[in-house]
Amino acid sequence: MCYNNGMQKLIEFENGMRLALVQNNAVRSVAIGIFVGAGVVTETSEISGISHFIEHMVFKGTKNRSSFDIVNEIDSIGAQINAYTSKSYTCFYTVSLDTNADKCADVLSDMYFNPNFDEGELERERRVVIEEINESEDTPDDVCLERLLTCFFKGHTLEKPILGSKKTLSSMTSETLKSYHKKYYIPSNTVISIAGNISEEDAVMLVKRHFVSKSDIAPQEKKPPVAVAAHKSGFTKKVKQIEQAHVAFAFPSFAYDAPEGVAVQLMSVIFSMEMSSRLFQSVRERLGLCYTIMGYPSTYENNGAFIIYTSTNPESLEKAVLAIRGEIDLLLEKGVTAEELNKGKEQLKTSLVLGQESTSSMMRTFGTHAIQTGRLYDFDARIAAIDGTSAEQVQNAAKRVFDFDRVCGSLVASTDIVNAVKLIKCTK
């Protein structure tokens, strides 16, 4: 089966594995990403963090390569190799010269199919991941935002942190990892995303040789859909001996690929994501209350959150929160201007177009979309949706997002200052 949009294609093989292909003959590089539908949403609370742990462990040796061999073979051809885990999936990828794409695919295939999960390596890497958790716990904005999502998705599978916890990591064995790997690292739960200077024939041959031919597992039933979270207003605070107060809010927003997603993106650009955005100009530039302030959507299957975050002097916290609330009220009451809307559209379209010039960016965009939706990402449709979004649609999206009856807040500061959720709920 093949979904075709010119130089962009989504090809499904007989065993259920899919190839998302983005051809670009104007470059000399190829990015290859292996997207596996394994993340927080496929974990139980007892094995929280296992997807991320496996992301680490596939680099620690296979049946055919040592951990040094993996990185040395990639370094020897001047390529890059890395990986990341999200709430919804795990990705391993390389970026190389087009002439070295086959070699990169061979290494990635070995990591995908043949990780050793050696007990000695596991113990060493367990300590590494625990240090990663320690580093995150020493970073106030990480603590603030992680606790925010746990509060926001309380009782839902998305409440779990990507890194897991020291407790869950300590209980994982080689057999635990092997069992999870066997369940989720299967063809029908995998998308190979390739972008760059490669023909369709060569890309299909590469995937067949290194991936499809090495697994005879028949297509499996699709995983059950992720449930919609039932959000309730909440507040979490942590006392930490730091100079600033870190505060963040989460509002219910739209799921990944929802029709309203473009309107929310435009709202974000206008309201809170850019240096010319309302929040930046108001809270930082005019009032001088912070250095960092941002607002952005986080999207998942059947769920979404709109996050607002800032850090400020504890004495300025109340002023900052009330200033944020004032800008939200103004947005809800008066919407956005034609000038703001046009500027926002140009910013979004420019970001999309510039991303097309990067093979790694296209690999991530098309791979993420395919693993999350099973469909081919349509660049032209996205541009058309941006152009077709009205100021009224942006204001309506804002009205649906900023539900103060279901807002959650998170505060990390040196003292127990105020309940930030009560502040954000204050009306004029």
Residue 161, SS3 per DSSP: coil
| First-to-last C-alpha distance (Å) of the chain | 57
Amino acid at position 58, single letter: V
Given a contact cutoff of 8 angstroms between Cβ atoms, the answer to whether 421 and 247 are in contact is no
DSSP string, 278-291: HHIIIIIIIT---S
Residue 55 known to be catalytic: yes
Q: Residues 172, 178, 182, 184: is their CA dihedral positive or negative? A: positive
Amino acid symbol at 402: F
What Å distances lie between residue 93 and 11, 81, 203, 282, CA to CA?
Answer: 19, 6, 15, 40
Strands ordered across the beta sheet of 8-12: 2-5, 8-12, 18-23, 190-196, 29-36, 90-97, 80-85
Sign of CA dihedral 138, 142, 143, 144: positive
CA–CA gap between residue 311 and residue 415 (Å, rounded): 14
CA angle 242, 248, 249 (to 5 degrees): 160
What does the block give as tokens for 401?
Answer: 């997002």
List 43, 55, 146, 260, catalytic entry: 55
Taking a C-beta distance cutoff of 8 angstroms, is the pair 32, 192 a contact? Answer: yes
Tokens 């209350």 map to which residue?
A: 289
**Any idea which residues carry the catalytic annotation?**
55
